[in-house]
Every structure is written in structure tokens, then in C-alpha cells.
Amino acid sequence: MLPRAEALAQIEAQEWDIVVIGGGITGAGVAQQAARRGWSVLLVEQRDFAWGASSRSSKLVHGGLRYLKEGDLKTTLHSVRERERLLQEAPGLVELQSFLFADCPDRKPGRWLMQTGLSVYDLMAGQRSHFHADLATTQALAPGLAPPGLRGALVFQDAKTDDARLVLRVLQEARLLGATTLNYLAARALRLEGGRITGLDLQDALGGRSHVVRARSVVNATGAWADRLRAGLGSRPILRPLRGSHLLVPFWRLPVAQSISLMHPRDGRPVFLYCWEGATLIGTTDLDHDESLDTEASITPAEVIYLIEAVNDQFPGARLTPADVSACYAGVRPVIDGGQKDASKASRDHVVRDESGLVTLTGGKLTTFRLMAQDALALAAPHVGKPFTRTDAPVFTPASPLNPRWCASVRQRLQGRYGSLAASLCADAHQENLHGIPGTSTLWLELAVAARYEAVEHLDDLLLRRTRLGILLPHGALALLPRIRRLCAPDLAWSDARWQEETVRYRALITAHYQLPGTMLPEFE
């Protein structure tokens, strides 16, 4: 990655074919697809890459089985096909996950309706992966599963990922194709001439300097913030921000080999729990989010109880309580407002529109970022003055080989995260840094690589997005900070005062947004 100061010095020197605002999966996809076509690309993000919903999702690369129930066949079809593509292109980052849905009498949607949906799901993927398990097989697959009336289960395949790492991998591909990407660079105003967008006013959130950039086209990929940017053109809002919250508990406390998918006994909403990165992840809620988007979203006490109720309905012997929760997180989804009363019934499809040269791309799902990006570029192309054709070319270049003496799981993990740069980024790895961090699937090496190569500007960049230690370990992994500092200090080059400042800032962030409401963190030396 080009050093930040050097990249900032160059952004005003040319007229860009396209400036992408937003560093989540949507913006990353647009940048990668545009750069693949030889367009000059600048991507700017007001906070950190993947700071918003793209690091706070349910971590699933799935076909959207729930959308079949709403009759949204197009979204499901696109999602299933993109899931299969990602499994092939990014092994080690996107992985198969087995799901189990308990078959109980008088529980919606019922065995036969669910089985019909799964048959359509498999047909879309061109394979048959689901089956019905009898009671004995179900209990072997999911020990402790005992919702009322359990008589078996439907088992099917979907996929999971580390959502923030998926964003970073797509951004890496964009940079390899010539794109410039900058975090902590905010779009403050649109520039118009003759009724169309010609550029942007930007402000560096770290240094404070303002920049004016010229652009033939601007893509608004700011997620839940999209209406705010559109308001500068007098456009009417189209979004219904919805909050999705999740809990994490130590895997030993709730060991599930299958992902358990269920309809919440209280309101029939879909909920799941599964093993993710060494912990058990429980989600999600779906509530209107009326708070300011400038403040990080937080889980509410009611949401905590709601998710724990879902777990204890399926695993009554677990007797899970809030005291078992090691971390939580909440994100705000940019869902298109279709006027539905029930938030869960709002469409998850995306929209793309051209307003005076500002191409807004919002809504949609993590899984379908490639298709969404191509829809945006189709509208941007006339402004850029270059031809555009849709393509099925791979998003990811193949991963580079790693030391064959390293264990296969380590190689696959690093190749999944760093792709074609895996060999160069990991070339100086010390053997002790190839070990996993207890309680997680994370390698110590990942911290060192992030500090050296991945534009880490704050401690939360390192622990909440480059790695996920801040939500995988109790108390935001504060107990590991002394070793993390020894490992990362040479590359971050922060003074003692800066480390102290970052620690205080990070601790406040974890307390406010990644722990249960009202939790006080212990002191660590």
C-alpha cells in the first residue's frame, strides 16, 4: 500500500475517472471492478475500512434462504450463485458452514415448507446438499439441542467469512489493479458545475488538511449514510436504517459444531448461532435504528435478553445468562424503505440510481457485492466516457504458495486473508508468531502483518477490524495489550504517550459499544 502521506499528496494532481465514497464491502467492490476495467480509481472512507456494517454483519456468505419466504427469488438466486463463486475463489476466507434447523411440530415454517425451500435453494446452486436427519442423528450432530417436541432436523450448507477481512481482501485486489484507497478521509461536500458532479471536497480526519479532487463520476457507497450525501442534491431519503445486534460467548460455554438456525419462539424471526473464529456467535436482531449515525450503534438490554431466549429455547440445558457473554456488537444496515410495518420484511435487495452524476449504490447484501458494483458502474460509465460491459471475471487472484513446512491450516488461513500477497507479507514470519492466540483462530502473525502493511491508524483498527480479537476475547483483549505492543510497536512507531492515548480511547470504545450495557472493565497492567 502506498504510504498515506504520499497518497494524499497525489490525489489532487489528476481528474479521477471515479471517486468511490465508502470503504465497506460495497465501495470496495466498486473500486475493484472499476480498477479491473482500467479506470483511474480513488476510494475514500471517513473512518476506517469496514468500520460500518461491513465489520458488524452476521459473518455469513449465504444465499438468503429467508428471502424465499418473502418471495424474493431474484435476491436468493443471485446470492446463491455469488456464494458458490466466493467459495471457489477465496478458500480459507470464505468457508462452508453446515446449518441445522430443528424439526418440531407446530413450529413455523414447518418441515415440508422448509424442505421445499431448501430444494429450491439447492436447485439454484446446482447441487443437492440438504437432508432430513432423524432424532438420533440430530442429537449426534447437535448434542444438547432440545427444543419442545424435537423429532429431527433439516441439515443444509451455506458459508461464513470474516466480513472485515473480506473487505480488506477486495481492497487489496483493487490496489493491485491500480486503485488508491485512503481511510480517515471524509467527503465533506459535492462540487457541481452545469448541474452535474465534477468533484469533491475532502478532509483528512488525521491531519486536518482539506483537499479538492476532480472526478468524472462519484459513487456514493456509504451504506446507512447514503441519504446524507444525497441530501446535498435535494434528493428524498430512501433508506430505513435497521440495527442488527449480536452476542459472542466462549466456545466452551456453548460448543456447537453445526450452525443452529431457528425461528425465535417469541416472534418467528430467524436467529442463528454458530462457531466463528473460535467463539460462538449468536444473532441477530432487526430493529429500526433511530439514533444518530455519527455514534457507534450499541446493543440494548432488551436485545440481549431476546437473543439469550433464542439460545435457551434450543438448548435448555445450557441455561445461558448475560454473565456468559464475552462481547457484543451492533451494526446499522442500509435497508431500502418499502413502507413495510415489520422491519424483518423489508427488502434486502439493493438500489442504484444516478442523480446529477452522483451514482448511489446502497442496500443489498455482503454476498452480492460484485453484482452490485457492476450495476453502479453501468450508470457511471457514461459520465466516465468509457465503455462498460458486465463480466464474470474473478474478483480474487489466486493465493501465492507459502512455506510447505507450515501446517496446512495456517497456510490456508494466511492465503485466504492475503491472497497473492501472502508469500511477500509473511516472508519474515517467526515460528512463534504462527501459533494461534488462545480462545481464537487468530495467529499472532496477523497482528504483525496488519501493523506493518494495513494502514492501522488506531488501536481499534488493529483489534476490531484487521483482527477480531476485540470481540473474540473477554474485555476486548485488553489483557493481551503488553504482548501486542511488543509485537506491533516497531511498525506502528507510536510513542509511549501515543500508546497510552490509544489504550484509553480503545478501552472507552469497548466499554461503550462491545460489552453488555452497564459492564465495567477490570484494570490491566
Residue 148 pLDDT exceeds 90 = yes
DSSP letters along 18-83, please?
EEEE--SHHHHHHHHHHHHTT--EEEE-SSSTT-SGGGSS--B----HHHHHTT-HHHHHHHHHHH
pLDDT for the residue numbered 343: 67
Q: Which three cell numbers stand for residue 494?
A: 507510536
- Across 323-390, the runs of DSSP E, i.e. the strands, are 327-336, 350-355, 358-363
Residue of 260, 263, 271 lying closest to 107 (CA atoms): 263
Distance CA 456, CA 442 (A): 17
- Identify the weakest region by mean pLDDT among 32-36, 245-249, 497-501, 518-522: 518-522
- Which burial class, exposed, middle or buried, applies to 190 when counting CB atoms under 10 A from its CB (0-12, 13-18, 19+)? buried
What is the model's pLDDT at position 433? 97
pLDDT at 70: 63
What is the pLDDT at residue 72?
A: 65
Compute the CA torsion angle 312, 317, 320, 321 (nearest 10 deg).
Answer: 100
Q: What is the pLDDT of residues 246-282, one digit of tens each?
A: 999 999 999 999 999 999 999 989 999 999 999 999 9
Q: Is residue 237 over pLDDT 80?
A: yes
Confidence grade of residue 126 (pLDDT, cut at 50, 70, 90): low
pLDDT in tens, 107-118: 777 676 677 677
Longest dimension (CA), the chain: 71
> In this predicted structure, what is the pLDDT of residue 524?
67
pLDDT digits (tens, 9 = 90+) for 466-490: 999 999 999 999 999 999 999 999 9
List, in order, residues 6 or more apart from 121 with CB less than 8 Å away. Answer: 63, 65, 68, 76, 80, 130, 156
Per the CB < 8 A criterion, the answer to whether 352 and 341 are in contact is no
**Which of 61-65, 124-128, 291-295 is predicted least confidently?**
124-128
Q: Which residues contact 449 (CB under 8 A, 6 or more apart)?
A: 418, 425, 426
Tens of pLDDT along 321-376? Answer: 999 999 999 999 999 987 777 766 666 688 999 999 999 999 988 999 999 999 99
pLDDT of residue 77: 81
Phi, psi of 179 (to 5 degrees): -70, 150
pLDDT of res. 525:
58
pLDDT tens figures, 171-184? 999 999 999 999 99
Average pLDDT, the chain: 93
**Residue 430 pLDDT > 80, yes or no?**
yes
pLDDT one-digit tens code per residue, 376-416? 999 999 999 999 999 999 999 999 999 999 999 999 999 99
Sheet of 210-215: strands edge to edge?
Answer: 15-16, 210-215, 196-204, 185-193
d(CA 319, CA 324): 10
Instruction: Assess whether pLDDT exceeds 80 at residue 124.
Output: no
| Mean pLDDT to the nearest integer, 23-28 | 98
Confidence of residue 63 (pLDDT cuts 50, 70, 90): low
Locate 354 and state its grid cell.
444516478
Quote the pLDDT of residue 3.
87
